[in-house]
Chains A and B, each alone.
Chain A
Amino acid sequence: MDEILDGLTQIDCDILVIGGGTAGPMAALKAKKKNPKANVVLLDKANVKRSGAISMGMDGLNNSVIPGYATPEQYTKEITVANDGICDQAAVYRYAQECYGIIQELDDFGIRFQKDQNGEYDVKKVHHIGTYVLPMPNGDTVKKALYRQLRKARINIVNRYMATRLLTGEGRIAGAVCVNTRTAEFLVVRAKAVIMGLGAAGRLGLPTSGYLYGTYENASNSGEGYAMAYHAGAGLANLECYQINPLIKDYNGPACAYVAGPMGGYTANAQGERFIECDYWSGQMMQEFYDELQGGKGPVYLKLNHLAEETISEIERVLHIVERPTRGHFHKGRGTDYRKQMIEMHISEIGFCSGHSASGVFVDEHARTTIPGLYAAGDMANVPHNYMLGAFTNGAFAGLDAADFIADVDFAAFDEAEVEAERTRVLAPTKRDDGIPPNQIEYKTRRLVNDYLQPPKVTAKMELAQERFEEVREDMEQGMYVRDSHELMRALEASSILDCADMAASASLYRTESRWGLYHNRVEYDRDDENWFCHTILTKGDDGKPAHRKQEVKPYIVEIAEDEKDAYNNQRVGASVAAE
Chain B
Amino acid sequence: MIKTQKNIGLAFGLLGLVILSLNIMYSFENVPLFFSLCFLSMTLGGILYFNALYGATLSGIHNNGVWFNALTAKGLWGWILGLVLTSFYIAIYWFPELLGYRTETASVGLVAFFDPLSVLLNGKLATQWFMYGTLYTFAILLFGIKFIWKYRSNPYQIFRTLSVVFFQLCFAFLLPELLSKLNPEMPYFSKDIKNMWPLNYYFFDAWHLEGMLNGKSIGQFFLIFGLLMIFVISPLLTYRFGKRWYCSWVCGCGGLAETAGDPFRQLSSKKISVWKLERWMIHFVLVFVFITTIAVVWSFLGTQPELSLVTKERFILGVVVLLLLILLSLFIKHKNGFPKDAKYTLISVVSILLASIGLHYFSGQQNIFFFETYTFQKWYGFGIGAAFSGVLGVGFYPLLGSRVWCRFGCPMAALLGLQQRLFSRFRITTNGGQCISCGNCSTYCEMGIDVRAYAQRGSNIVRSSCVGCGICSAVCPRGVLKLENGPLENRITNPTFPLGNTL
Q: Do A and B come from one complex?
A: no
